[in-house]
Amino acid sequence: MIGKKGWSRVVLDHVVASYGRVFWGLEALLPLFDLSVRLYLAHIFWTGGMVKLSSWMSTVMLFTMVYDVPWLPPEMAAYVTTAVELGGSVLLAIGLAGRWAALSLFGLNIVASISYGQVSEAALQEAFYIGILFLYFVLHGPGHLSADTLLSHLIQGRQSKRNAKLNLSDHTITHCV
């Protein structure tokens, strides 16, 4: 028979074990969350870039008459914006130079919010939330399901092989002497 202390200990052990399993399960979902948010953000900006490309004359006209980017000529602003939207979206989606892609799209998000004078409160709120998501990737990187992580593992693998060869040759030299 288990006493009062015994039952509380059994219950506590089960609670701790269950918490550990739930926590591990949630941690296992984090790479999928990172990937899905990256793809969501990339889709938003890829679509914007493709719309700009589909009607280039309208895009240049919008940058001339509507968007106020004072430090760039309108056509140059249109080129830069489109390039950042398309290039940054691809890089963010695959997770290559993920922090830099997120930072460039974060900056574009700010400039777009400021340069368009007739932004509604809802659009500003959406831009704010998108900016927070970009900051997440700037601070934490693109996550485990990314080209950055794959390249990191490949580089570390090569370095460890190179170090193993160097250690083997050092060991051989010391035994020959």
- Its pTM stands at 0.80
**Tokens (6 digits) for 26:** 């949630």
Domain residue extents for the chain: 33-145
**Tokens (6 digits) for 50:** 């493709």
pLDDT-derived band at 12 (thresholds 50, 70, 90) equals: confident
Residue 61: what residue type?
M
106/81 Cα distance (integer angstroms): 12
Residue 158 has pLDDT above 90, yes or no: no
33/38 Cα distance (integer angstroms): 9
Q: Which among 165, 167, 142, 163 is positioned nearest to 34, based on CA atoms?
A: 142
Residue 94 has pLDDT above 60, yes or no: yes
Residue 176: what residue type?
C
Kindly state the average pLDDT of the residues 84-108. Answer: 98
pLDDT-derived band at 78 (thresholds 50, 70, 90) equals: very high
